[in-house]
């Protein structure tokens, strides 16, 4: 069965006007790389869920630039590696500060794939199970729900991630009860549990 074609140049193909606007000002070559990458993921990697800056911009109405790369969380990194090898696509492994493999980067597509079995696996598994479907480029793609995206951003804890988390909270797309339920469910797996639980009260 043929998969729907992704076209990032058509405004009507986006659920998020903000995401379209931020993609449209990237260099044409970058847009084409991302478009081909998203199409390849849509065609061949069923378990990939969009996270990172692209998903943040999708949930905002203003005030956040888009970096020219896309991040996906994947359940089965070995399957991804096999698919990339079959397609003869060049890639390299992503490593954390301790040298451990945490994913794969594909320069041709400007895409990083993060391994759901690395890092906070409980959070990652929730993201994979509770994704939303969002229209991007005329096609429904899997994207992290906003509540877990905020929790992920706060847990990472870098200044830019904290800023992203607060921006999403202030955008009015968060269900407070859902957020708190996720935080409580992940209580034993969040290093910043107390802070993450109270942040939602600030908005």
Q: Are residues 76 and 164 in the same domain?
A: no
Give me the tens of pLDDT residue by residue for the chain, a chain 203 residues long: 467 899 999 999 999 999 999 999 999 999 999 999 999 999 999 999 999 999 999 999 988 888 888 999 999 999 999 999 999 999 999 999 899 999 999 999 999 999 999 999 999 999 999 999 999 999 999 999 999 999 999 999 899 999 999 999 999 999 999 999 999 999 999 999 999 999 998 87
**Last residue of one domain, picked from the residues 122, 144, 166:** 144
Angle at 72 between CA 134 and CA 115, to 5 degrees: 140
Q: How many other C-beta atoms are found inside a 10 Å radius of the C-beta of residue 173? A: 16
Residue 190 CB coordination number (10 Å):
21
> CA-CA distances (angstroms) from residue 178 to 3, 100, 133, 147, 148?
32, 32, 17, 7, 9
d(CA 124, CA 103): 13
Are residue 138 and residue 195 in the same domain, yes or no? no
List strands edge to edge, sheet with 101-106. Answer: 92-95, 101-106, 111-115, 70-74, 49-51, 139-143, 132-136
| Residue 2 confidence (pLDDT) | 62
* Statement to judge: residues 171 and 100 lie in one domain: no
- Per-residue model confidence as pLDDT tens digits over 19-37: 999 999 999 999 999 999 9
Q: Domain check: are 69 and 128 in the same one?
A: yes
Cβ neighbours around 129 below 10 Å, total: 10
> pLDDT tens digits, residue range 154-179?
999 899 999 999 999 999 999 999 99
Residues 88 and 18 in one domain: yes
Tell how strand 101-106 and strand 49-51 pair up: unpaired
159 and 129 inside one domain: no
Structure tokens at 177: 């009860």
Q: What residues have CB less than 8 Å from 70, skipping those under 6 apart?
A: 34, 37, 38, 50, 52, 54, 109, 110, 111, 112
Quote the domain boundaries for residue 105.
1-144
* Last residue within a domain, chosen from 116, 144, 172: 144
Same domain, 134 and 188: no
Query: How many domains does the structure of the chain reveal?
Result: 2
| Residues 128, 157 share a domain | no
Q: 34 and 119 share a domain? A: yes
pTM of the model: 0.94
């Amino acid at each position: 069965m043929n998969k729907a074609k992704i076209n990032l140049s058509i405004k009507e193909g986006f659920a998020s006007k903000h995401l379209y606007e931020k993609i449209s000002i990237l260099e044409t070559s970058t847009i084409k790389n991302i478009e081909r990458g998203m199409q390849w993921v849509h065609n061949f990697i069923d378990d990939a869920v969009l996270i990172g800056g692209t998903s943040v911009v999708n949930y905002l109405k203003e005030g956040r630039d888009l970096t020219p790369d896309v991040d996906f969380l994947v359940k089965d990194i070995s399957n991804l590696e096999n698919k990339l090898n079959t397609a003869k696509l060049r890639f390299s492994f992503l490593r954390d500060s301790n040298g451990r493999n945490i994913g794969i980067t594909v320069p041709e597509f400007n895409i990083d794939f993060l391994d759901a079995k690395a890092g906070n696996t409980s959070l990652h598994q929730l993201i994979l199970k509770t994704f939303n479907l969002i229209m991007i480029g005329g096609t429904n793609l899997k994207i992290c729900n906003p509540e877990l995206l905020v929790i992920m951003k706060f847990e990472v804890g870098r200044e830019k991630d904290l800023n992203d988390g607060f921006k999403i909270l202030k955008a009015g797309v968060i269900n407070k009860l859902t957020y708190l339920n996720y935080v409580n469910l992940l209580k034993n797996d969040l290093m910043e549990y107390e802070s993450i639980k109270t942040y939602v009260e600030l908005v």
